[in-house]
Structure 1
Amino acid sequence: MKMSDLREKTIRTEQIYDGKIIRVQVDDVELPNGNRAKREIVRHSGAVAVIAITSEGRMVFVRQFRKPLDQTILEIPAGRLEAGEDPADCAKREMIEETGYRAEQMKFVTKFYTSPGFADELLYIYEGVSLTKGEAQPDQDEFVELVELTLDEAFERIEAGEIIDAKTILAVYHWQNQQLKQG
């Protein structure tokens, strides 16, 4: 089968949930071989995350409870894009809200789909440059604790299972890669 033959044709879409953060739909599709299948799809406005290294050589994390996991984990600062919001502006806003840190500049690192098997969430990763510490301004329903770790401490937290989300693990490896490039 050729790559061009892999596309699935949407026959029908049924929206089954429209919430604050996600929309869920079920699509009936025709497969490349003519058979039919259902696809459950989560629609998401996108998000940003920030790799922030202090002048003391520590990465900025937030510890927060994540209900879907029913546990508290360490993550890099991140948040959902508002409709029409520029990802770099969102990154600056989220850094201030969650950590109090302000970045003079947001340098684009990469973007990726978080779970393309069922969701269209696109996550933009930025690196906060020239940080200035300030007071956190969390959303009303957001409870976070600021944590700053060295690279070695971050890897220890990965090994201990305290850092378990993909964006944060990617951020730690990016930091390590940057350190290796610097010599």
Structure 2
Amino acid sequence: MQWRKQSEQTVYANRWFDVNLADVELPDGNHLDHFLIRLRPVAVATVVNAANEVLLLWRHRFITDSWGWELPAGVVEDGEDIAYAAARELEEETGWRPGPLRHLMTVEPSNGLSDARHHIFWADDGVYTGPPVDDFESDRREWVSLELVPKLVARGEVPAANMAAALLLLHHLRLGQVAVPHPS
């Protein structure tokens, strides 16, 4: 079943996002008004060191009034390369410049409401360049063992779904999974 957008108009816009109203035709021919948010791409990055520790931010999100672990992230500026934006955000928020970035995943965190795409990268080395420029972004920055990631996610300490997915994938890629023998 496919919904078809008949028209769309902007009802509010600013530098960060547009709120639009769409006339949507449902498969049965009925129409509904559907609000949606149009966002610029978001670039996300981290470093996993030789000890299999991942560089994370501990921060508060006032919208949900929650604390949790996150990866450094930010909006891609107009004309900016996404991987460059990810490296820039990582350095601005942590003081660490990543080595060569690898694309980990691209996710759509709320595709029933928004066209947001988060592009997540990681590097297996980095260089500390000094205190973060955007020190206000987090309460602290820490190297956290990838072994702890599943427990952190299960306890709700990684509340953002995109961050949880990325960290669980990094956990899998770096530590692998223990094979469960099948009974013969």
Does TM-score exceed 0.5, indicating one fold? yes
Matches within 5 A, 1:1-183: 6-11=2-7, 13-139=8-134, 142-178=137-173, 179-180=175-176
Q: Distance in 2 between matches of 1:15 and 1:96?
A: 34
What is the CA deviation profile of residues 104-159 of structure 1, one whole-angstrom value per residue up to 9, with x for unaligned ones? 21111221211110100011111123211222433486344202111233333223
* Secondary structure, aligned partner of 1:55: coil
Q: Alignment identity in percent?
A: 24
Paired AA for residue 34 in structure 1? G
Deviation of residue 165 (structure 1)?
A: 1.1
> Given that residues 96 and 136 in structure 1 are in contact (C-alpha distance below 8 angstroms), is that contact kept between their aligned partners in structure 2?
no
Ranges in structure 1 where 5+ consecutive residues have no aligned partner: none
> What is the number of residues matched between the two proteins?
177
Distance 2:3 2:97 in 1: 44
Q: Which moved more, 1:148-157 or 1:89-98?
A: 148-157
Q: SS in structure 2 opposite 1:105? A: coil
Which aligned runs of 4 or more in structure 1 are off by greater than 6 angstroms?
none
2:182 maps to none
- Is there any run of 5+ residues in structure 2 with no aligned partner, and where? 180-184
Instruction: State TM-score, norm by structure 1.
Output: 0.86
